[in-house]
Structure 1
């Protein structure tokens, strides 16, 4: 009788422990929704799901920050490395994709598929700035390519360029993004 009570108690304890771990894990995976404001320009331009498109290969460009769902993004970590993320459009549910990842390739939105072309390394810099670099896997050179806005005008494409780490040039600031207003926690 004592063995059965002990066994039942052990099972109940194990189940409560598993539920606690699941609750903690789900809280850690809460995803914040925010805007990505480009750091080069003082006129408040945000990463934008251009034209409110919902299909694959939808353009990602800069547009005046408006707070619309086409400018709201979520970052979800990939695996245990908290600096590797996928970036998802709240409007379309598609993920930021780099395609082949070559210099001057435009970023676009595509069905989220957990492929390497949708994984980005977040590299934090001074003043809450961050650069977004394609993640090519462990051991690969990570600092060669960055996401960059090529201009300040509405409709400017966001594309891959060689990273510039000089801390002062236009290219350096065009490769910096800031997290804008936190809109909600789903």
Structure 2
């Protein structure tokens, strides 16, 4: 769905051209765009699966639905209708990051800092690509923020 936008353009002293343009409606703060990280790779939902517990990974950007993320007004990051989630609400370095049904928990809150870190405030840890590698299929976790390239993210503007 979208919204109609009316554009009036003068076409002379007594006439106007009218154009009706359809524009998509954006929900949340920033809707359905890729989040990119190390090596320009996209944050990706493994195997395009919306099943609870599906790991978040990085993958070469394809434009697929499993690489489209919405920064919602409630502080969550959403893809495929689910939320980016710290497994079990964990706070320890190495806790995996996954897709889970949105439930309003602190495990699903993310803050994007001026330094381009994605931080889970409950754990006070960064979204981290394991092993500091940009290989397709590398899983994500939370880890103490180090400033490394594997913790830097570009979100939709």
1:101 matches 2:91:
yes
- TM-score between the two structures when normalised by the length of structure 1: 0.63
1:132 matches 2:115:
no
Displacement after TM superposition at 1:179 (Å)? 2.7
Call closer, same or farther: CA 1:95–1:29 in 2, change over 3 Å.
Answer: closer
Matches within 5 A, 1:135-146: 135-136=121-122, 142=124, 145-146=125-126
Count of residues in Structure 1 that have an aligned counterpart in Structure 2: 129
CA RMSD of aligned residues (A): 2.2
1:55 matches 2:51:
yes
Call closer, same or farther: CA 1:51–1:29 in 2, change over 3 Å.
Answer: closer
Call closer, same or farther: CA 1:55–1:161 in 2, change over 3 Å.
Answer: same
Separation in 1, partners of 2:27, 2:44? 27
2:34 aligned residue: 35
- TM-score between the two structures when normalised by the length of structure 2: 0.74
| Residue 72 of structure 2, aligned match among 58, 61, 76 | 76
1:18 aligned residue: none
1:173 matches 2:149:
yes
Q: Which runs of 4+ in 1 moved over 6 A?
A: none
Separation in 1, partners of 2:48, 2:85? 17
Call closer, same or farther: CA 1:123–1:69 in 2, change over 3 Å.
Answer: same
Point out where structure 1 has 5 or more consecutive residues left out of the alignment: 1-26, 79-84, 166-171
Separation in 1, partners of 2:56, 2:113? 20
Displacement after TM superposition at 1:106 (Å)? 1.1
Task: Please tell me whether Structure 1 or Structure 2 has the larger radius of gyration of its CA atoms.
Answer: 1
